């Protein structure tokens, strides 16, 4: 098979193929290659099946030149291959392809004509303007519409003129496309600096009897093309009773360049707040979406008073674009009784950018307004402001709401060297009610401590002097902190005499997220005071082997240790699952060894099969090892088997039927498929063996890469 | 693993709280209450939605839409009769009526004036073409990814969305998940120092193509409309195996694979981390399981198959001069130092359905703001994936002009930027 045939064969898969395997498509040189092109053209001129011609077209999109155009052009009238042909014709540079497409317009009808016109549009062939203009009045509305959009893509003054000439008189079915073409032309004019022409064309469409969406597009274009002078037209849309026009004003306002529009929006907001509050709320969000030029006083005013929907929208906007001038308004709003107002204000207070805000909040706490005290304390935490003395004073307050806010904020802000103040709140809370909140705050603080081991050392010390319920809480916090010291402390707790501590500690270790938990878990699996905790630890250990990144020898060693230490079959089976997940010669050997245990026989055999199939091509010993396993008997029926690539397939059904036995494993006479199946059906191409079969009367199929060990998966049970 | 690494397990995260909202930039929305959404939703505030191509993923998306009180799902279009019936039943059961209309041809659905927005969850072959048609018909759209099949489609799609003024949300729901948002924020705001490398996991770095399979008897169009299923893809005979829309004709049938399938998520996150700048300008061919691309400012975007901390699917990693962060679908974050939390606790939701991404979309349908997965952002990420695939396919370096999105002095690569659509479809 010649070079190009090989490409084509590789590209016509029976199922999905991996294109990267087709190394022959690699090319570092210029786009065209006379040799490749000639071979691809020869496919088009041959009696090759349509599938091969299709892929040849596709390759000509990369390797073709004007020389390929005549043969490609012949396919434009072929219903099956026209689209494939145009893939190449759209891509091949030069006048030959343009001419071929233009010529085809005179010979084609219906959908094939539409496709050809679409391709002319993609190529932006200015020589086709007259030809397309003539087609604008084609009785076939699909053809006329295609011509209109193609002219729009070309975007020349002549194209625009032809579209304008027919817009009003076009049938309703075509008018939308003509308007689309006009908008495309106007956009092109604008890009080319033809502003006057662009505006005129947009306005032409705006005033035409065309679908609303086209008018929206033209309106947007007309606003932006006018630049600063487009602002009145934009504001006019804000007053439009048409929701679509209002919406296009909102989106256009966001993309409008410069800052003149911001003042205009502020003025419009004031008007709309009175006349149309729902719309005013939306205008506020559009204003805030322009953070660099937004007129903040207008939003601040809207946030202070007025219709609720406008206020909430403005408060939310202040969170994004506000500054210190907004603080009083937000604080007052944050304690209003209406939750929609207060929650929005609190969220905005937390988000309001700038360190100056933090300073202002701390300053206000020096002489706090009683009604704002809790809110200001909350903000210390929410904004992570360094104000420890203030919080320590508040945490001793007799008012529970103030203490609660202070504890939460302490959790968010306490520095590492002051962690003891929170530990004290956990071990000796001011009241019992404060304990859960103090524990949560400590956890919040601990998980963000930069030195985890130092943090864990402090927690471990507190653990010694705490009652059991507090110990449990501290252990859980240690689990969240993680790290060497935490691991060690929890490991010790797991062997404590108290069953509650054993339970919590072993559970934490079982969920540990770093590999260093492995030896601790193994030790516990052997030495935990109760069997249930030994089992839990063993499972945790196996989980580490299953999930974590490590070298192959490390994983093998863990599996061996787990197999030795595991007392029960369920855990031994979990080890076999780990082996199956990481196929290698070593894991196969271990699976074969596990097979010797009668209670693991079934799982080990299944694992060995999976491993062997994955490594057989690289490890010839795999086949030998598999020979020591007696596979489950099945009723196997080979229905059909094909070997090859793309259209080059060889029927190997009989060969497989002869080799099939009563197990899912089929051994060929040789490891090489080509040899076993009597030749290479597709040289140099990536080949697959596809088998349709039944096991125990249930149908299934499988696709195997060349020379893979033939193990037929058990058919899936239907649910 | 580094001793300094802090791991934040999902369970360790606080529930969503005020502090969490302080960390992440809030979507630019009007509070729902301001729109009357805290109780019964007035008809004027409902978003009337139709679904196009609702298969497995679409059914999940649909569930997210139906959870939203202000969504009124009124119509489904699918080329498969079975899906039309199933989705209608689901919608009707939810709406407690029998009003969900069914269509075989999505153009009929788009013709309906009452429909505001569409959920596009067809196979990748249709995403861009259907989105373009929806935009031109005046609909806002939530479009599953990969959104485009090639670079040219990506450019035209974002231009069209801008031109039509429509709201477009790509199905890149991870942009609305707190742990991904946090990681991207760290990178974007300089918390990791000067950004050096962003890593994406392509999960199968190989270009793929769907094929021309052995012809089978074409079903009745009412049962499976093969012609509409093919849509913009070049013609081929019916074969039931190709009805797996997931693998059919993504990346123009020439390139795609994991780089596009997963890249439209993880590269999208990398793009967010670099502040949604245009796609990288250089793409090296893959070497040792890594494909390195470079942004104009020298930051490297690295597609790599291995070497990830086990943090679930779709992992990303961002490395700066002073720190790094890695995260994935497990919801866990691994940081070079806890100080990167800047004193904050990362709040995390217990599960991470795309509901919030859908909510972001619906809020923007009302406010006309830009959702997180907007067309500009999504298309830039797609361009990066397509360009990487072209380097992968050609087996050599390619250089992209970020202004024109054309390859520099590279006709061969440029010929792979686009692909003709089957008649009568156009962009």
The length of chain A, given as a count of residues: 719
Whether the upstream peptide bond of residue B424 has omega within 30° of 0, thus cis, is yes
Task: Tell me the average pLDDT across A507-520.
Answer: 92
Please indicate if any CB of chain A lies within 8 Å of the CB of B290.
Answer: no
Q: Closest by alpha carbon to A510, among A459, A502, A178, B35? A: A502
pLDDT at B25: 32
Beta-strand relationship, B47-52 and B71-77: parallel
Please indicate if any CB of chain B lies within 8 Å of the CB of A48.
Answer: no
Residues of A in contact with B212 (CB under 8 A): 12, 50-51, 54-55
Task: Tell me the average pLDDT across B98-104.
Answer: 97
Residues of B in contact with A347 (CB under 8 A): 18, 21, 26
Please indicate if any CB of chain B lies within 8 Å of the CB of A191.
Answer: no
Contact between A16 and B18 using a beta-carbon 8 Å cutoff: no
Closest CA–CA distance from residue A201 to any residue of chain B (Å): 15
Contact between B163 and A319 using a beta-carbon 8 Å cutoff: no
Q: What is the pLDDT of residues A518-538, one digit of tens each?
A: 999 999 999 998 999 999 999
Identify the band that residue B26 occupies on the pLDDT scale cut at 50, 70 and 90: very low
Partner A, chain B 378-407, Cβ-Cβ below 8 Å = 392-396
Residues of B in contact with A176 (CB under 8 A): 136
Please indicate if any CB of chain B lies within 8 Å of the CB of A217.
Answer: yes
CATH 3.40.50.720 positions along chain B are 27-173
CATH 3.30.360 positions along chain B are 1-26+174-349+375-417
Q: Closest by alpha carbon to A76, among A51, A57, A52, A63? A: A57
The residue in chain A having the minimum alpha-carbon distance to the alpha carbon of residue B3 is A483
Mutate to test the interface with A, among B29, B34, B107, B113 (most CBs of A within 10 A): B34
- A373 lies in a domain? yes
Residue pair A216/B138 in contact (Cβ under 8 Å)? The answer is yes
Q: Which of B344, B367, B411 sits opposite A282 (nearest CB)?
A: B367
The region of weakest confidence among A156-165, B55-64, B88-97, B198-207 is B198-207
CA–CA dist A214, A219 (Å, integer)? 8
Please indicate if any CB of chain B lies within 8 Å of the CB of A344.
Answer: yes
Does pLDDT of A462 surpass 70? Answer: yes
Q: Which residue has the higher pLDDT, A710 or A9?
A: A710
Helix H or strand E segment including A12? none
Closest CA–CA distance from residue B84 to any residue of chain A (Å): 22
Q: What is the ipTM of this complex?
A: 0.89
Locus of tokens 């204003």: A287
Q: Which of B165, B234, B241 sits opposite A247 (nearest CB)?
A: B165
Please indicate if any CB of chain B lies within 8 Å of the CB of A547.
Answer: yes
The tokens describing B175, both together, are 């942009």
pLDDT at A31: 57
Identify the band that residue B246 occupies on the pLDDT scale cut at 50, 70 and 90: low
Q: What is the pLDDT of residues A272-298, one digit of tens each?
A: 999 999 999 999 999 999 999 999 999
Q: Which of A19, A247, A411 sits opposite B208 (nearest CB)?
A: A19
CA–CA dist A65, A58 (Å, integer)? 13
Choosing from A403, A432, A450, the residue where a domain stops is A450
Q: What is the pLDDT of residues A387-400, one digit of tens each?
A: 999 999 999 999 99
Does pLDDT of B348 surpass 90? Answer: no
- A397 lies in a domain? yes
pLDDT at A717: 64
Q: What is the pLDDT of residues B368-385, one digit of tens each?
A: 999 999 999 999 999 999
Task: Tell me the average pLDDT across A350-359.
Answer: 91
- A350 lies in a domain? no
pLDDT at A54: 93
Q: Which residue has the higher pLDDT, A26 or A648?
A: A648
CA of B285: how far to CAs of A426, A685, B154, B387, in Å? 57, 22, 22, 11
Q: What is the pLDDT of residues A489-498, one digit of tens each?
A: 999 999 998 9
Closest CA–CA distance from residue A601 to any residue of chain B (Å): 31
Assign domain B1-26+174-349+375-417 to a CATH class: alpha beta
Assign domain B27-173 to a CATH class: alpha beta
Residues of A in contact with B312 (CB under 8 A): none
Please indicate if any CB of chain B lies within 8 Å of the CB of A244.
Answer: yes
Q: What is the pLDDT of residues B136-181, one digit of tens each?
A: 999 999 999 999 999 999 999 999 999 999 999 999 999 998 889 8
Residues of A in contact with B1 (CB under 8 A): 514-515
Q: Which residue has the higher pLDDT, A17 or A391?
A: A391
Closest CA–CA distance from residue B101 to any residue of chain A (Å): 23
Please indicate if any CB of chain B lies within 8 Å of the CB of A183.
Answer: yes
Q: Which residue has the higher pLDDT, B130 or A632?
A: B130
CA–CA dist B31, A300 (Å, integer)? 17
Please indicate if any CB of chain A lies within 8 Å of the CB of B351.
Answer: no
The maximal CA–CA distance of chain A, rounded, in angstroms, is 95
Total number of domains constituting chain A: 2
Q: Which of B31, B345, B366 sits opposite A316 (nearest CB)?
A: B31
DSSP states of A291-349:
TTT--HHHHHHHHHSS-HHHHHHHHHHHHHH--GGGHHHHHHHHT-S-HHHHHHHHHHH
Does pLDDT of B352 surpass 50? Answer: no
Partner B, chain A 572-631, Cβ-Cβ below 8 Å = none
Q: Which domain holds residue A387?
A: 368-450
Write down the number of H helices and E strands in chain A: 40, 7
- A27 lies in a domain? no
Choosing from A431, A450, A469, the residue where a domain stops is A450
Predicted structure pTM score: 0.78
Q: What is the pLDDT of residues A235-273, one digit of tens each?
A: 999 999 999 999 999 999 999 999 999 999 999 999 999
Q: Which residue has the higher pLDDT, A449 or B421?
A: B421
Q: Closest by alpha carbon to A589, among A624, A548, A541, A630? A: A624
C-alpha Rg value of chain B to the nearest Å: 21
CA–CA dist A247, B140 (Å, integer)? 12
CA of A150: how far to CAs of A124, A131, A146, B41, in Å? 7, 11, 6, 44
Q: What is the pLDDT of residues B28-40, one digit of tens each?
A: 334 443 444 445 6
- A619 lies in a domain? no
Residue pair A82/A73 in contact (Cβ under 8 Å)? The answer is no
Identify the band that residue A621 occupies on the pLDDT scale cut at 50, 70 and 90: confident
Contact between A346 and B18 using a beta-carbon 8 Å cutoff: yes
Q: What is the pLDDT of residues A194-235, one digit of tens each?
A: 999 999 999 999 999 999 999 999 999 999 999 999 999 999
CA–CA dist A58, A85 (Å, integer)? 8
Mean pLDDT of chain A: 91
Contact between B209 and A11 using a beta-carbon 8 Å cutoff: yes
């Amino acid at each position: 098979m010649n070079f190009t045939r090989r490409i084509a064969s590789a590209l016509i898969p029976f199922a999905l193929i991996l294109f990267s395997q087709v190394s022959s498509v690699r090319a570092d040189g210029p786009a065209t290659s006379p040799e490749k092109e000639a071979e691809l053209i020869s496919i088009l001129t041959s009696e090759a099946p349509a599938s091969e011609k299709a892929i040849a077209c596709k390759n000509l999109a990369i390797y073709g030149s004007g020389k390929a155009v005549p043969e490609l052009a012949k396919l434009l009238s072929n219903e099956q291959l026209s689209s494939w042909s145009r893939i190449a014709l759209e891509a091949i540079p030069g006048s030959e392809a343009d001419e071929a497409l233009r010529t085809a317009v005179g010979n084609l009808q219906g959908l094939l004509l539409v496709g050809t016109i679409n391709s002319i549009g993609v190529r932006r062939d200015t020589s086709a303007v007259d030809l397309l203009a003539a087609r604008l009045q084609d009785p076939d509305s699909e053809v006329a519409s295609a011509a209109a959009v193609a002219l729009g893509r070309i975007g020349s003054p002549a194209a625009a003129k032809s579209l304008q000439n027919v817009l009003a008189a076009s049938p309703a079915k075509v008018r939308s496309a003509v308007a689309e073409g006009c908008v495309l032309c106007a956009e092109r004019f604008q890009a080319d600096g033809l502003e006057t022409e662009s505006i005129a064309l947009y306005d032409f469409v705006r005033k035409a009897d065309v679908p609303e969406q086209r008018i929206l597009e033209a309106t947007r274009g007309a606003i932006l093309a006018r630049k600063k002078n487009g602002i009145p037209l934009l504001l006019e849309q804000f007053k439009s009773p048409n929701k679509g026009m209002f919406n296009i004003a909102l989106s256009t306002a966001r993309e409008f360049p410069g800052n003149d529009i911001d003042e205009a929006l502020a003025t419009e907001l004031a008007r709309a707040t009175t006349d149309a509050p729902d719309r005013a709320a939306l205008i506020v969000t559009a204003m805030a979406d322009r953070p660099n030029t937004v007129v903040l006083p207008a939003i601040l005013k809207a946030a202070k008073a007025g219709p609720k929907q406008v206020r909430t929208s403005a408060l939310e906007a202040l969170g994004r674009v506000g500054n210190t001038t907004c603080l009083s308004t937000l604080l007052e709003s944050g304690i209003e009784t209406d939750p929609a107002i207060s929650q929005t204000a609190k969220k905005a207070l937390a988000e309001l950018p700038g360190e100056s805000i933090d300073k202002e909040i701390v300053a206000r706490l020096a002489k706090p307004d009683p009604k704002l005290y809790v809110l200001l304390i909350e903000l210390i935490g929410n904004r992570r402001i360094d104000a420890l003395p203030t919080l320590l004073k508040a945490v001793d307050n007799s008012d529970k709401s103030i203490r609660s806010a202070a504890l939460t904020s302490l959790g968010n802000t306490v520095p590492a060297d002051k962690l003891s103040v929170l530990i004290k709140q956990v071990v000796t809370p001011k009241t019992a009610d404060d304990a859960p909140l103090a524990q949560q705050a400590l956890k919040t603080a601990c998980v963000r401590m930069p030195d985890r081991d130092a943090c864990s050392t402090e927690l471990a010390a507190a653990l010694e002097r705490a009652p059991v319920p507090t110990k449990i809480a501290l252990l859980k916090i240690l689990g969240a902190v993680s790290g060497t010291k935490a691991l060690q402390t929890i490991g010790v707790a797991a062997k404590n005499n108290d069953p509650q501590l054993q339970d919590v500690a072993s559970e934490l270790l079982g969920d540990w997220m770093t590999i260093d938990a492995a030896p601790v878990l193994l030790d516990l699996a052997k030495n935990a005071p109760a069997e249930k905790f030994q089992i839990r630890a063993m499972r945790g250990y196996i989980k580490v082997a299953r999930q974590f990144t490590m070298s192959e020898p490390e994983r093998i060693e863990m599996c061996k240790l787990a197999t030795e230490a595991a007392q029960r079959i369920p855990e031994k089976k979990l080890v076999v699952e780990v082996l199956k997940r990481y196929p290698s010669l070593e894991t196969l050997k271990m699976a074969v060894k596990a097979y010797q245990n009668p209670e693991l026989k079934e799982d080990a055999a299944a694992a060995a099969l999976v491993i062997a199939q994955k490594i057989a091509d690289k490890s010839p010993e795999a086949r030998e090892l598999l020979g020591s396993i007696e596979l489950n008997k099945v009723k196997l029926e080979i229905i059909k088997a094909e070997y090859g690539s793309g259209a080059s397939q060889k029927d190997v059904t009989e060969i497989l039927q002869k080799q099939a036995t009563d197990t899912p494993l089929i051994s060929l006479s040789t490891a090489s498929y080509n040899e076993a199946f009597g030749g290479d059906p597709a040289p140099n191409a990536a080949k697959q063996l596809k088998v349709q079969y039944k096991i125990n009367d249930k149908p299934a199929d499988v696709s195997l890469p060349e020379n893979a060990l033939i193990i037929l998966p058990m058919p899936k049970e239907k649910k | 693993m580094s001793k300094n690494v802090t791991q934040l397990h999902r369970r360790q995260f606080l529930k969503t709280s005020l502090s969490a909202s302080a960390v992440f930039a809030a979507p630019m929305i009007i509070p729902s209450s301001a729109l009357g959404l805290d109780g019964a939703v007035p008809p004027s505030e409902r978003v009337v939605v139709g679904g196009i191509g609702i298969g497995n993923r679409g059914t999940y998306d649909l569930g997210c839409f139906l959870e939203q009180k202000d969504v009124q799902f009124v119509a489904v279009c699918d080329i498969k009769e079975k899906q039309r019936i199933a989705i209608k039943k689901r919608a009707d059961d939810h709406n407690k009526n029998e009003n969900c209309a069914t269509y075989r041809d999505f153009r009929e659905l788009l013709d309906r004036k009452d429909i505001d927005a569409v959920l596009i969850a067809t196979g990748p072959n249709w995403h861009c073409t259907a989105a373009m048609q929806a935009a031109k018909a005046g609909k806002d759209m939530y479009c599953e990814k990969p959104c485009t099949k090639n670079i040219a489609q990506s450019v035209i799609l974002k231009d069209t969305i801008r031109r039509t003024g429509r709201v477009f949300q790509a199905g890149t729901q991870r942009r609305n998940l707190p742990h991904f948002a946090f990681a991207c924020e760290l990178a974007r705001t300089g918390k990791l120092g000067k950004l050096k490398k962003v890593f994406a996991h392509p999960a199968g770095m190989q270009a793929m193509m769907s094929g021309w399979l052995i012809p089978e008897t074409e079903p009745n169009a009412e049962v499976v409309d093969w012609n509409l299923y093919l849509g913009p893809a070049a013609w081929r005979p019916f074969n039931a195996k190709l009805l797996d829309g997931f693998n059919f004709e993504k990346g123009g049938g020439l390139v795609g694979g994991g780089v596009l399938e997963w890249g439209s998520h993880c590269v999208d996150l990398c793009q967010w981390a670099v502040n949604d700048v245009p796609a990288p300008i250089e793409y090296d061919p893959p070497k040792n399981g890594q494909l390195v691309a470079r942004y104009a400012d020298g930051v490297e975007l690295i597609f790599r198959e291995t070497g990830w901390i086990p943090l679930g699917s779709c992992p990303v990693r961002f490395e700066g001069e002073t720190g790094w962060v890695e995260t994935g679908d497990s919801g866990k974050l691994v940081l070079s130092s806890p100080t990167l939390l800047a004193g904050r606790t990362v709040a995390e939701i217990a599960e991470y359905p795309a509901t919030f991404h859908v909510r972001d979309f619906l809020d923007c349908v009302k406010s006309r703001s830009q959702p997180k997965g907007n067309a500009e952002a999504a298309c830039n990420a797609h361009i990066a994936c397509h360009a990487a695939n072209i380097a992968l396919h050609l087996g050599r370096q390619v250089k992209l002009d970020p202004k024109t999105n054309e390859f520099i002095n590279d006709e061969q690569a440029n010929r792979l930027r686009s692909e003709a659509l089957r008649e009568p479809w156009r962009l």
